[in-house]
Structure 1
Amino acid sequence: MAEEIEAALDAVGPRLRALRKQRGFTQAELSAATGISESTLSRLESGSRRPNLELLLPLARSYGVPLDDLVGAPRTGDPRIHLKPIHRHGMTFVPLTRRAGGLQAFKMLIPARAEPGEPTPQTHGGYEWLYVLDGRLRLVVGDRDLVLAAGEAAEFDTALPHFLGTADGRAVELLVLFGPQGERAHVRARSARSE
């Protein structure tokens, strides 16, 4: 039992680092949001400081996740995913996966805008695959400026400057799979020969 507890505590640091990076926070931003010093956050993420409730509760609140997600507690009972939207950069992201780190799935909602405005490309580590459910998406990746309609998909390295927005001022809905650098979505289809 003590070994299980040690293993769970050792896994908290990498889980916290992965969640912070996935959400796009710096340690300074997280420190300002939680009141936990940057040095303490750094020690927590590296595993040189043991987590406690005084540290984990504000982190869970800032990330909008249950405390169980931070400590890797096993799920019991209800298999449903309880969707808690995240609002960032004027868009809504609805997480469809529960684990921190690794490949993440989101439903993304880009609201209607009277003036779509000029794109402001961003970069971050990782790889993204997206599928447009409804609307017309303006996707800028590097020097390419594309419009994707419902039913179209795209994938790209997020280290390239990129922008997602409405192409025609109307709302856009899409599914997004995001993975750490080097982790890509794999789509498998049965070939005609194998039938």
Structure 2
Amino acid sequence: MEHSPAIAQALTEVGPRLRRLRTERGVTLGALAEATGISKSTLSRLESGQRRPSLELLLPIAQAHQVPLDELVNAPEVGDPRVRMTARHVNGNVVLPLTRHPGPLQSYKMVLPKSRSNPDPCTHEGYEWLYVLSGRLRLVLGEHDVILGPGEAAEFDTRVPHWFGTTGEEPVELLSLFGRQGERMHVRAKPRAKTT
């Protein structure tokens, strides 16, 4: 199995790291073999790099030295989990993709300028979920024409003629989740109490 350069480098450093840890603690190969159940020759080959490290070997060694496994292998850090948002301008709207990889569901943060206020309904395959962050969003869906404020959400089948934009008073910031295959979003929230 071919490893990335970072993983290959980490694997070549395991042996010297194991030897250093053992000698710093004043532990002999014989004592470590007794504590782990791994033969002295296997431990020696592991430390010299002649034997590839495996979980079956490293876990008992980590336990014997009472150190986390990460300390033995100095594993490369996982990728940065932050999504680097790069704004795109699409038909006058600012669109920030929040999903890094292609897949059935895509998420976006959108900023619609107040000038986006003339309905122009369209249809396409998919299912969309919208959540208003700020401003007042106008949603035209089939025969419905509704206004959503901050904290309100809507979901709909995009095969129904639809359009969303502003009321013409101010820009709107919203989150959009879109599923091309018509996947429905599952939202668990308590219904808003009705005021009388």
- TM-score under structure 1 normalisation? 0.54
- Supply the distance in 2 between the matched residues of 1:134 and 1:117 (Cα, whole angstroms): 16
State whether residues 104 and 181 of structure 2, in contact with CA within 8 Å, keep that contact through their aligned partners in structure 1: no
Relative distance call for 1:124 and 1:170 in structure 2 (3 A) is same
Q: Kindly state the Cα deviation for residue 124 of structure 1 after the two structures are TM-superposed.
A: 1.3
Report sequence identity in percent: 56
State whether residues 117 and 166 of structure 2, in contact with CA within 8 Å, keep that contact through their aligned partners in structure 1: no
Larger mean CA deviation between 119-128 and 78-87 belongs to: 78-87
Structure of higher CA gyration radius: 2
Relative distance call for 1:84 and 1:103 in structure 2 (3 A) is same
Cα displacement string for residues 111-144 of structure 1 (whole angstroms, at most 9, x for unaligned residues): 122xx55311111110001110100011001111
Does residue 137 of structure 2 align to residue 137 of structure 1? yes
- Supply the distance in 2 between the matched residues of 1:105 and 1:128 (Cα, whole angstroms): 10
Q: Which residue of 1 aligns with 2:25?
A: none
Residue type of the alignment partner of 2:155: E
Does residue 90 of structure 2 align to residue 92 of structure 1? no
Relative distance call for 1:185 and 1:147 in structure 2 (3 A) is same
Q: Kindly state the Cα deviation for residue 108 of structure 1 after the two structures are TM-superposed.
A: 0.8
State whether residues 121 and 161 of structure 1, in contact with CA within 8 Å, keep that contact through their aligned partners in structure 2: yes
Does residue 163 of structure 2 align to residue 163 of structure 1? yes
Question: Secondary structure of the residue that 1:151 maps to in structure 2?
Answer: coil
Relative distance call for 1:152 and 1:117 in structure 2 (3 A) is closer
- Structure 2 stretches lacking a partner, 5+ long: 3-76, 191-196
Cα displacement string for residues 9-64 of structure 1 (whole angstroms, at most 9, x for unaligned residues): xxxxxxxxxxxxxxxxxxxxxxxxxxxxxxxxxxxxxxxxxxxxxxxxxxxxxxxx
- Supply the distance in 2 between the matched residues of 1:96 and 1:86 (Cα, whole angstroms): 12
Cα displacement string for residues 74-95 of structure 1 (whole angstroms, at most 9, x for unaligned residues): x953221111122212111111
- Supply the distance in 2 between the matched residues of 1:117 and 1:175 (Cα, whole angstroms): 18
State whether residues 108 and 176 of structure 2, in contact with CA within 8 Å, keep that contact through their aligned partners in structure 1: yes
Question: Secondary structure of the residue that 2:123 maps to in structure 1?
Answer: coil
Residue type of the alignment partner of 1:142: G
Q: Which residue of 1 aligns with 2:150?
A: 150
Q: Kindly state the Cα deviation for residue 150 of structure 1 after the two structures are TM-superposed.
A: 0.9
- Supply the distance in 1 between the matched residues of 2:96 and 2:166 (Cα, whole angstroms): 18
State whether residues 136 and 168 of structure 1, in contact with CA within 8 Å, keep that contact through their aligned partners in structure 2: no
Q: Which runs of 4+ in 1 moved over 4 A?
A: none
What is the aligned-residue RMSD (CA, Å)? Answer: 2.1
Q: Which residue of 2 aligns with 1:77?
A: 79
- Supply the distance in 2 between the matched residues of 1:175 and 1:118 (Cα, whole angstroms): 20
Question: Secondary structure of the residue that 1:187 maps to in structure 2?
Answer: coil
Residue type of the alignment partner of 1:109: V
State whether residues 107 and 175 of structure 2, in contact with CA within 8 Å, keep that contact through their aligned partners in structure 1: yes
Cα displacement string for residues 138-193 of structure 1 (whole angstroms, at most 9, x for unaligned residues): 10011111111111110001111111111133100011110123311112359xxx
